[in-house]
Amino acid sequence: MFPHPYTIEKSHGWIAMNLPKPDTSKTTALPDPAAQQPFSTPPTAVPATTEPLVAWPATLHYAICVDSECVGTIGLKPGVDVHVRSAEVGYWLGEAVWGRGIASEATAAFVDWVFENVPHLERLGGSVYSGNGASERVLRKVGFKKEGTLRKAVWKSGVWYDLEMHGLLRDEWVEMKQATSSERNS
């Protein structure tokens, strides 16, 4: 749950409360001091592993910062059991920075980091409340495809919302990276 309104004063406590506390005996996270600080880029790359995602913390949360100010969060919720090769990405930004491309940039970098560092992950999902076109555009810019709608899946502030489901497969991500690389080289 995010503090509202999300102010710099409230952000430090919330971030500290939600940063993953790595158990180095079970996770792929490095016990890097930088991982304990809010930052605008994903953490240091970790070596490839054959450990399943179930060894990860329940969720991973990172701060999105602009000019040393925390403006939102981005995170990953790994799947478990039969969903172990899937994970859900989520993000949130304060209204003051909407429309500046920050969510798109952060999500693109985060998706790259996830696929580059979790070799057994096959699918990333992302969901958007109906009517949140800006968030849906973020997912589409990064390469996610709309997969369906869960009708009346969210009850928020006395209103029902549909949940628009999106997904990005590893093969699709690899193709996008290769196309981008080819465009740069021509």
Q: What's the pTM value of the predicted model, to 2 decimals?
A: 0.69
**Angle ∠(122,25,54) on CA atoms, nearest 5:** 30
Cross-strand pairs, 87: 78, 124
What span, in angstroms and rounded, lies between the C-alpha atoms of 31 and 113?
A: 17
What span, in angstroms and rounded, lies between the C-alpha atoms of 73 and 97?
A: 12
Give buried/exposed letters for 162-180 (b at 16+ CB in 10 A, else e). eebbbbbbbeebeebeeee
* pLDDT at residue number 20: 52
**Angle ∠(13,14,20) on CA atoms, nearest 5:** 105
The string of DSSP codes covering 83-116 is: GTTEEEEEEEE-GGGTTSSHHHHHHHHHHHHHHH
* pLDDT at residue number 39: 39
* pLDDT at residue number 81: 84
What span, in angstroms and rounded, lies between the C-alpha atoms of 106 and 125?
A: 16
One pLDDT digit (tens) per residue for the chain, 186 residues: 444 555 555 555 555 555 555 444 443 333 444 444 443 444 444 444 444 444 555 678 899 999 888 999 999 999 888 888 999 999 999 999 999 999 999 999 999 999 998 888 999 999 999 999 999 999 999 999 999 999 999 999 999 999 999 999 999 999 999 998 878 777
Domains annotated on the chain, with CATH: 8-20+33-42+52-185 (3.40.630.30)
The dihedral sign for the CA sequence 76, 82, 85, 86 = negative
* pLDDT at residue number 54: 44
49-to-43, 118, 127 alpha-carbon distances in Å? 16, 7, 27
Closest CA to 114 of 178, 62, 181: 62
